Structure 1
Amino acid sequence: MPICGEEKLSDAFDEPNFVSSYDIGNFTYFFFRENAVEHDCGKTVFSRAARVCKNDIGGKFVLEDTWTTFMKARLNCSRPGEIPFYYNELQSTFFLPELDLIYGIFTTNVNSIAASAVCVFNLSAITQAFNGPFKYQENSRSAWLPYPNPNPNFQCGTMDQGLYVNLTERNLQDAQKFFLMHEVVQPVIPIPYFMEDNSRFSHVVVDVVQGKDMLFHIIYLAT
């Protein structure tokens, strides 16, 4: 285990807990929480949004039978302030496809005071993070630094190029190293839609109801 100030090389996942997945366009999106390898000191959990092309068949020789289009980014759900209060552990999501909104219920880490919050993310903000630079660590003692994205506005390839051709237009050596994004996905508004202390909610469902003059989003939460 690294000590304060040291880092370890990250793998695609670090003890993940998967929460949900959605087919959206040419991608499958995953939402999960995992150990945060980029955290400066000590062990903590971050929440992630990740995606992979639906037609990703893996590489040839390099990353064979392994995703070549996998990318992940941290989701930020926090109470803003001079020292933000973070709700790091995603528990449940709900996708409103007609509005491209992802609702998430987040809780504090299990070894801290219990608290829950609902944060809402626009799919465009997640896409923006995937279009930005990667976060990369050269070795276990170097700092995590941004690395330019060689394929901004990345799109999935097509299936008519032959079974063993890399469809992704990603360099396979890059795909081995660059999958953690540098930018953090920010919610629609900086303050959570809902916060409650001394509770850890585990499920969220959202209904959209037409009012007299506007649509109302009714949020249902459960333990």
Structure 2
Amino acid sequence: MREIVLDTETTGFDPETGDRIVEIGAVELYNHIATGRTYHQYINPERSMPAEAFEVHGLGDDFLRDKPRFAEIGQAFLDFVQDSKLIIHNASFDMKFLNAELGWMKLPLLPWDRAIDTLAIARQRFPGSPASLDALCRRFNIDNSSRTLHGALLDSEILAEVYLELIGGRQPDLSLSIASVDSESATGGIWRPMPRPAPLPSRLTEDEREAHDAFVKSLGESALWARA
């Protein structure tokens, strides 16, 4: 099962009043394990970055001026997410902006039922408790010390860990890396979790095995599995 953990940064709160996306970050999960494949793109919003947005994101007009417009990267973004479920914190916000940008380009919109909102999951699991990304990091002891500014890729990587905790616990071998969507593994393919080629050897010692056999034998015919 492929899932995409996604975050966007924007110039404001409403695309209908002229706000635009300035950054998209996404992390690929396969069977709830990070593959190391990511998507990250800064975007020229074709408008000035408001001062309050600059303070939050640290992205100014000079930095964004030479970045591609959404019209230049929209199809590549869709090619990356494909038909996967989208894991988003406060999904209605990001989906609203993404579909506005895609709609202006006359590209296919993202179905709302593909979005899994981690904010809603957190509020359901911990009613009355803070459910921001920072608050959930504190709850789950996830290191977010590098999150001094809001950045889409970093927030996606942190959200991936939060999401796995919300659905039942982090994978012990979760490994998130900052890799470009264009950079695949050294072998030229995209890594996917594979079945173990050979079973692990038993950790049971011979003494333990003999003790177990003796115990089972001592139960005699009264053992549950010995009954007809």
Rg comparison, structure with higher value: 2
When the two structures are superposed, what TM-score results if normalisation uses the length of structure 1?
0.22
Structure 2 length-normalised TM? 0.22
